Amino acid sequence: MHRLLPFLFLLLAAGVAQAQEPLDTEADSTAQEQRARGVIDDPEEPDSVLQRSVYLFQIRPMGVKIYSIQNVWHDPTGAQHHDPLGNARGHYYLSKGVVGQSHLDLYPILGTGIGWHYQPDVNSGYTRTPYNIGFYQTRKPYSMLSYSSSLKNEYTLRVVHTQNITPRWNFALDYLLLNPDPIFSNEDTKNNYLTLSTNYYSRDSRYQAYAALLWQRWNIGENGGLTNDNTFRNNSMSDFRGLPVNDYTARSLYNSWLFYTRHSYNFVRQVQQVREHIETKVNSNDSTQIDTIVYNDTISPSPLRIINPGVIALDFSKERSARRYSDSTTVHQYMLWIYWTNDAYPDSRFSCPLKVTVGLQPRWYRIDEHDSLLYNWANTTTTTQLALRLGSDTLASSFYHTLGDEYLRNNDWAEVHYTHRFDSLRTATLSATAVQQSPDFFYLHYHSNGLAWDRPDLKRNVLQKYALRYHHDRLFDFELAANHINRNTWLQDNGSGLAPVQNNAAFWLLQSRTALYITLWQWLHCDLEQFLQYSSDDKQWDAPLWATKNSLYANFHLFHRALQMQAGVDIRYHTPFYADGYNAPAGAFVRQRSVQVGNYLWGDVFINMQIRKVTIFLKAGHLNALWEMNPDYFMLPHYPGNKFGLYYGLTWRFFD
């Protein structure tokens, strides 16, 4: 009975939400008229209820524009609702086999930006920041409830609600709970993510304000992985809880909260010119009277006649994060970012062809480590961005320079990219990136109960990246990148314990990603995603030569299009390679050359059904495990993936 309580709760909440009184027509009209300029309805969004109802603000450095939200559309890999990393397009993750635990990006995107980190993020697929959450504007309250579970004791719950308090002031809540079922003894996971966000814009859209509070808590009972992988392969019992594991008592706890706010003001006033027309006509009630009627036609202003003082914006964030493995470390960060840009026009037809952004970003840090070690320092990052658009071509450059002390070593990040737009669907981009950045603080200094090192001699990591991308919307996506890496830094077990290692020998990492979304027949579809990687020095960086994610599914409608259904199979595979091992006490990945993972095929069978605002999914995960005689499905060294499982879930959206 207790397994049904979450479903009963969802149904009760749905009934309450459906019973809410809708906004009156006049309020809807006001919200539609007063929403910020630049909101464009996507005519291709299939959900007519969502269209013109929910708008999403994306915080981006280049300007303060507003973009319409993407519809929650059917994605065949969306059957993996129990693990958000499973349906992330363009990424391929290896996990410890338990949802919400440490993940390793199989196809890393290098050179994406510059920033300070205490240590590498081993949960990058789940971590929330002010730049990957949503700020909404809604004409009506919007809610989404999602619950998924399996025949085991795991479940996932997500609750989203957003509505406008006034026609231009919105509030949103997004909560996610991950509680998977462990494979081995002393393995327990319960992760919570809560985001509260709000945004406001003035009647003329010139002033815009955003604020968000992010709280994340990962509570993970570790086991360090299997002591001997062969005990798993040769185990004849279906229950693996008795198998011997390493670091039996190790635990991980990560708790953080972050407050973020942004204010921006657009000094460009969209002044309209008015042309007066006078017309006379006979009065319809009295033919002896002649009426004089005055018409005022508005003429769009010419950008050449308007002085553009631009947009000025101010960001502020305060973050506190606590990491507890075998020790206790607390990190405090304060960030202030003020910048100016002339990208002031929501409508690109009136914007200046040369867009300029300059900014200044001071930061302050404090780290409390084991044995009462305290580190304090501050740094400042300068930002310059230029973008020149001529017709269908755009040439852009960005440069970041950090003035810091001994811990940051004057980091630099520069990028130049050229984009040609063939039409509304096809684009091609060439880019070059150069990065010089200090290793994460974790490699420079670390002190715990069992691990300690001080490596102030580590030099800046150096990366040059050259990339080509061709994109055809919803049909084809191709990326080719050549990464030249020098002074690579990693963690390694030297026999007496863990220690950071830096190699001064440069090497190349070549990467290719190809995604095809093919319609084989009117209702039969095939999504193919292929990854190729080659490292010229696999001792410094090992990657699978080939990795693939594929979906073959039927997509059709029934009952006069009231029901949309997808049914098919997901297949994943990658060639063997020496994946980094996960060290539970340090909470970090460690370079190893003794155990290979891969050369194993994973197959899932799924059914997705959408009935109006309700989406239901069923999935038989890792189906081929049913007939595996000698299981070899290790995702990371000493961490096998999940066994066969039946998963189910429901997502219910409300527009009231």
Whether the pLDDT of residue 50 is over 60: the answer is no
Whether the pLDDT of residue 605 is over 90: the answer is yes
Going by DSSP bridges, is the β-strand pair 645-655/639-640 parallel, antiparallel, or unpaired? unpaired
- Split at pLDDT 50, 70, 90, the class of 78 is confident
Looking at the domain that runs over 2-232+250-274+296-345+354-655, which CATH code has it been given? Answer: 2.40.170.20
What are 285-322's pLDDT values in tens digits? Answer: 666 566 666 555 555 544 445 567 888 889 999 999 99
What is the pLDDT, as a whole number, of residue 13?
35
Cα separation, 466 vs 443, in Å, equals 27
pLDDT, average across residues 496-511 = 93
Contact 69, 53 (CB under 8 A): no
Whether the pLDDT of residue 493 is over 70: the answer is yes
**What is the helix, strand, coil percentage profile of the chain, to 5?**
10, 50, 40
Closest of 165, 135, 137 to residue 33, by C-alpha: 137
| Mean pLDDT of the residues in the chain | 80
- Split at pLDDT 50, 70, 90, the class of 421 is very high
Going by DSSP bridges, is the β-strand pair 273-282/188-201 parallel, antiparallel, or unpaired? unpaired
More confident residue, 17 or 450: 450
pLDDT, average across residues 135-143 = 80
What is the pLDDT, as a whole number, of residue 246?
82
More confident residue, 91 or 421: 421
Whether the pLDDT of residue 48 is over 50: the answer is no
What is the pLDDT, as a whole number, of residue 408?
67
What are 551-594's pLDDT values in tens digits? Answer: 999 988 888 888 888 999 999 999 999 999 998 888 899 999 99
- Tokens coding 471: 């994109």
- By the 10 Å C-beta count (0-12 exposed, 13-18 middle, 19+ buried), 457 is classed as exposed
- Split at pLDDT 50, 70, 90, the class of 159 is very high
What are 202-240's pLDDT values in tens digits? Answer: 876 778 888 999 999 988 877 788 888 888 888 877 777
Whether the pLDDT of residue 637 is over 90: the answer is yes
Share of the chain above pLDDT 70, in %: 79
Name 571's bridge partners.
550, 603
- 631: CB partners within 8 A, 6+ apart: 232, 233, 625, 640
Residue spans of alpha helices (H) in 430-522 = 441-444
What are 348-393's pLDDT values in tens digits? Answer: 555 678 889 999 999 999 999 887 888 988 889 999 999 998 888 9
What is the pLDDT, as a whole number, of residue 569?
94
Q: What is the pTM of this model?
A: 0.83
What is the pLDDT, as a whole number, of residue 567?
93
What is the pLDDT, as a whole number, of residue 293?
64
Task: Indicate the DSSP class of residue 32.
Answer: H
What is the pLDDT, as a whole number, of residue 279?
67
Name 645's bridge partners.
621
Q: Can you give the C-alpha Rg of the chain in angstroms?
A: 27
Task: Indicate the DSSP class of residue 301.
Answer: P
Task: Indicate the DSSP class of residue 312.
Answer: E
Which residue ranges make up each domain of the chain?
A: 2-232+250-274+296-345+354-655
pLDDT, average across residues 168-176 = 90
More confident residue, 611 or 399: 399
What is the pLDDT, as a whole number, of residue 385?
92
C-alpha 212 chain-centroid distance:
16
Q: Quickly count: other Cβ atoms within 10 Å of residue 75's Cβ.
A: 14
